[in-house]
Amino acid sequence: MSEQYPPGASETSDSAIMLRRELTEEINRLNRFSTRGVLALALFLVISMCAWWNFPFLPAPDTVTALLGRPPSARIIGTVLLLYTFSALILSLSRMAIGVEHRSSFGHVGYLAVFFLFYYFGKSLADNYWAVFGSGITILCVESYRIWSYCTENVAKKREALEYVTRVGKPPPEE
């Protein structure tokens, strides 16, 4: 692919060509990264379907509790789920407010899957399924929006810089 020069310019410096390439790569990376929250949400939905079907591929709760001991009570699990949900939402909203690129969505899926498993092994999944599902949807939707908005904002900035480099042939002035 041949490099295009800005209108009215006969040549572009090597640094401008490199900068345009770097900006284009960063835009592509941010576009790929913007789907990360939706992928985590999709994975959570798959895990939620398995929980809805009472984890047919896992051993019976009695078998596991015989090996590991009694799981925590549903009340304790519910309290921890509530604390986790509020903590995750506060962290996500604070990251959104300060514009931090953080890749935590899949970690949330893991934690939520563990809540499903604790309820399953405690034989109280049927009573508490919707609590975990609602918490998961809420957390992962906020995370998905946070990631998408971060990427959208930064792609717009990178495109402006790319247009400036293409038009002027040098890096944009620092803000």
Q: pLDDT tens for residues 61-88?
A: 999 989 999 889 999 999 999 999 999 9
Could you state, in order of their start, the residue ranges of all structural domains in the chain?
14-166
- List Cα–Cα distances, 35 to 62, 126, 141, 143, in angstroms: 39, 31, 12, 11
pLDDT band for position 124 (cuts 50, 70, 90):
very high
pLDDT band for position 9 (cuts 50, 70, 90):
very low
pLDDT band for position 125 (cuts 50, 70, 90):
very high
| First CA to last CA distance, the chain | 32
The predicted pLDDT at position 7 comes to 53
| C-alpha closest to that of 108 among 76, 78, 142, 75 | 142
Q: How far is CA 155 from the centre of its chain?
A: 17
The predicted pLDDT at position 10 comes to 39
Higher pLDDT, 62 or 168: 62
> Rounded to an integer, what distance in angstroms lies between the CA atom of residue 139 and that of residue 96?
13
The predicted pLDDT at position 73 comes to 94
> Rounded to an integer, what distance in angstroms lies between the CA atom of residue 100 and that of residue 114?
26
pLDDT band for position 1 (cuts 50, 70, 90):
very low
Q: What is the mean pLDDT of the chain?
A: 89
Residues 14-27 have a mean pLDDT of: 90
User: pLDDT tens-digit profile of 88-112?
Assistant: 999 999 999 998 887 768 999 999 9
User: pLDDT tens-digit profile of 134-167?
Assistant: 999 999 999 999 999 999 999 999 999 999 888 8
* Mutual angle of helices 74-98 and 105-121, in 10-degree steps: 170
